[in-house]
Amino acid sequence: EQLGPDLHLRPLASDDFKRGHFDVLSVLTAAPQLTPKAYKDNFDELKACAGTYFIIVIVDTSSDKIVGSGSVILERKFLRAAGLVGHIEDIAVSKAVQGKKLGLRIINALEEIGRVRGCYKIILDCSDKNIPFYEKCGFKHKEFQMVRYM
């Protein structure tokens, strides 16, 4: 999908490490570079889980650099007649282009994937400071996140 003259939204490619994928992810948390082989192996492993991992990126085609990224993971359940739940994860927009609605475009695209695939809901975890962003995207607060680090 063409978002603007120089902005293209598309699925992640197996060689996107060379377009600054890790630089974009580093706005989220530590995202050390993988070797090209490790990147490709991880890519292939996710791809082998058919219909489960959907990772999209926004590429600035003038510089051939990724400026935004996000994923939705589709979880198949037994309840809700073997229903599907979408989990939105790792939404990241480069600092230089934050506030230009790219985050919103990423969320809209991931939601559309969930809708087309038949999810009955889409959920995500976020920090307090990102609540206004997700509210603008149409999400509402429900329950709490729990974590136990391994």
Residue with Cβ nearer ligand ACO (103 or 114): 103
Q: Which is nearer to ligand ACO, 13 or 27 (CB)?
A: 27
Strand partners, 87: 73, 123
| Residue ranges that bind ligand ACO, judged by CB under 6 A | 27-28, 88-93, 98-104, 124-126, 129-130, 132-133, 136
Least distance CB 2 / ligand ACO (angstroms) = 17
Sole residue written with tokens 């050390």: 32
Give the Å distances, CA to CA, from 75 to 60, 104, 124: 31, 23, 13
Q: What is the DSSP letter of 79?
A: H
> How many of the other CB atoms lie within 10 Å of CB of 94?
19
Q: What is the spatial distance between Cα 142 and Cα 144, in angstroms, rounded to a whole number?
A: 7
CB of 82 to ligand ACO, least distance (A): 25
Minimum CB distance to ligand ACO smaller for 6 or for 41: 6
CB of 117 to ligand ACO, least distance (A): 18
